[in-house]
Amino acid sequence: MSDIQTSTHAQTGLLPKVGAFLRDYYIYFVLVAVVLLLSTANLDKFDLFERGNFLNKNNIINILRVSAPILVIAGAFTMLMISGYIDLSVGSAMSLSAVVYALLAINGVPFLLAFVLTVVVGIGLGAINGFLVVRLKITPVIATLITLSLYKGVALLLVEDGVSAIKSGGGLKMPGWFNGYGRSGIFLGLPAAFWVAIAVTIAFVVIQRRGVLGKHAAATGGNPTAAKLSGINTGRVVFLLYILVGVTAALAGIARSSFMSLGDPLSGDGMELTAILVVLLGGTAFSGGEGRVLRSFVGALIIMALTVGMLTLVPAYYQTLVIGAALLAAAASNHVITRKGRAE
């Protein structure tokens, strides 16, 4: 408390410390604020999920279940953005994986094989992005815009004309195990898809903080020339990161497809926006070079709590506006935070 007097001098004392503290941990305050807001608001007006409190156990389980896709993507996407690159095709890659996974399952391929094959498809999709960006040197935005269109087109073509998604019918039936991965609670009432997302996030937190790939990604984003001159194969780093994003997009597709019990070729639409949003919310600089996987994970929790929780407060047609405004707000606050961080 005695520091309050000295804090009036902006150079030393409490204020900069508070500033630094806020900069490092603001995302957790935002999460707490959003949860408080949603849990104290009147939820009795609509009966969309569980009647009652936002903090109701079933409601939390439901939010975490539908969050599995974005939670699993956030880590790899953060690393990619830290290295200064972007992947706009992640939503289409997710849709395509969802369709492939459902197609395999409905044609009698057992769970593990279908899972592995879909992940292999994800590796391939990521490798195509990596090839376009690293080998052919096409600007990341354009390269992944091309594959956004390509993957979406392939996903739509895999589903027969006149049918909206791969689902039971026409003599084929989804196997009984199909929606277990995304729905049935295996631990604390949460499904395997969620725990896979947690494991992937932990892996990326460790890679970022302790792994060589994490250091190289930050170096590539911070100053590509310097990174190259110090012997880092930046092309290989970026290629690998695109593959990792492809793999997590496949995992997200499997989770979504299993949760919805169908292979919807549009199920990943907009995921690239959500991914950019949560990474920016987590304070990763757009220019690359710095950022934290864990903060993006928290950012993803905030966005999912907000989008699902919001449905109980306002009609669904407010969603686009709120997400767009959140994206702008995240970008603006990110700008303020990273600029202050650099000035000091």
Partner 1 sequence: MMSETVPRPAPHTRRRMSDESFITLLVAGVAVGLFLFASLMVPNFFQVQNMINLVTNNWAVISLGIGVTFLLVSGNFDLSVGGIVALSGVLSVWFAQAAGDGNPLSVGLGLPYPLALACALAGAMAIGALNALFVVRFGIPSIIVTLGTMMVARGIAQVITHGSQRNTNLPPEFGYLGNLSMFGTSVKFAVVLMAVLLLVAVFIEKRMVFGRITYWIGTNPVAATLSGIDRGWHITKLYLFSSAIAGIVGILLASEFKSGYSNRGTLMEFDALVIALLGGVAIAGGFGSVIGMFFGAIILAVVTSAATGLVLSPDWQYILKAIAVFLAIVAQTWALARRNR
Q: Measured from the CB atom, is 199 or 332 closer to partner 1? A: 332
Of 217-246, which residues contact partner 1 (CB under 8 A)?
none
Select the residue interacting with partner 1 from 113, 172, 206, 332 (CB under 8 A). Answer: 332
Is 154 a binding residue for partner 1 by CB under 8 A? The answer is yes
x-or-dash string of contact with partner 1, 260-299, rule CB under 8 A: -------------x--x---x-----x-------------
Select the residue interacting with partner 1 from 331, 337, 340, 341 (CB under 8 A). Answer: 331
Cβ partners under 8 Å of residue 110, min gap 6: none
CA angle 211, 212, 213 (to 5 degrees): 90
Stretch that binds partner 1, among 13-21, 145-153, 166-174, 236-244 (CB under 8 A): 145-153
The pair of three-digit structure tokens given for residue 260, joined into one six-digit string: 């919805």
CB of 275 to partner 1, least distance (A): 12
How far is it, in rounded angstroms, from Cα 289 to Cα 45?
A: 46
For the chain, how big is the Rg over CA atoms in Å? 21
Whether the CB-CB separation of 92 and 147 falls below 8 Å is answered with yes
Query: How far from 208 is each of 2, 42, 166, 292, 294, CA to CA, in Å?
Result: 38, 40, 37, 8, 10
How far is it, in rounded angstroms, from Cα 183 to Cα 252?
A: 14
CB of 147 to partner 1, least distance (A): 7
Stretch that binds partner 1, among 97-105, 195-203, 237-245, 311-319 (CB under 8 A): 311-319
Q: Where are the beta strands (DSSP E) in the chain?
A: 185-187, 190-191
Select the residue interacting with partner 1 from 123, 150, 202, 311 (CB under 8 A). Answer: 150
- For partner 1, the binding residues (CB under 8 A) are 86, 132, 136, 138-139, 141-142, 145-150, 152-154, 156-157, 161, 273, 276, 280, 286, 315-325, 327-328, 331-332, 334-335
